[in-house]
Amino acid sequence: MRRGPWRRGRVVAVFAVLTALLLLAHPLVPNWAGNAGSLLETFLPWAGLLLVPLLVAALIRRSALALVALLLPALVWGVSFGGRVFDKRGTGGDLTIVSHNVNDENPDPAGTARALAASGAQVIALEELKRSEVPKYEDALAAAYPHHSVQGTVGIWSTYPIRDTEPVAIMPWTRALRTTVDSPKGPVVVFVAHLPSVRVRVDSGFTANGRDAALGLLSDALFADPAPRKVLVGDFNGTTDDRALTPITSRMQSAQDEAGDGFGFSWPASLPLARIDQIFVTGARPTAAWTLPATGSDHLPVAATLTL
pLDDT band at 3 (very low <50, low <70, confident <90, very high): low
In a shared domain, residues 146 and 120: yes
Q: Which of 85, 119, 148 is the last residue of a domain?
A: 85
Question: Is residue 145 situated within a structural domain?
Answer: yes
Confirm if 289 and 260 have CB atoms less than 8 A apart: yes
Instruction: Look at residue 251 and give its three-state secondary structure.
Output: coil
In a shared domain, residues 56 and 22: yes
Closest CA to 269 of 298, 293, 238, 302: 298
In a shared domain, residues 78 and 181: no
> How many domains is the chain partitioned into structurally?
2
Question: Is residue 170 situated within a structural domain?
Answer: yes
39-50 pLDDT per residue, tens: 999 999 999 999
12-34 pLDDT per residue, tens: 999 999 999 999 999 999 998 89
In a shared domain, residues 226 and 137: yes
In a shared domain, residues 223 and 303: yes
In a shared domain, residues 100 and 33: no
In a shared domain, residues 274 and 213: yes
Query: By residue range, what is the domain housing residue 43?
Result: 10-85
Q: CA of 219: how far to CAs of 129, 133, 213, in Å?
A: 22, 29, 10
The pLDDT, as a whole number, for residue 1 is: 44
Instruction: Look at residue 247 and give its three-state secondary structure.
Output: helix
In a shared domain, residues 141 and 238: yes
Q: Which of 58, 85, 112 is the last residue of a domain?
A: 85
- pTM for this entry: 0.94
Instruction: Look at residue 281 and give its three-state secondary structure.
Output: strand
Distance CA 266, CA 212 (A): 20
Question: Is residue 1 situated within a structural domain?
Answer: no
Among 2-11, 53-62, 167-176, whose mean pLDDT is lowest? 2-11
CATH assignment at residue 104: 3.60.10.10
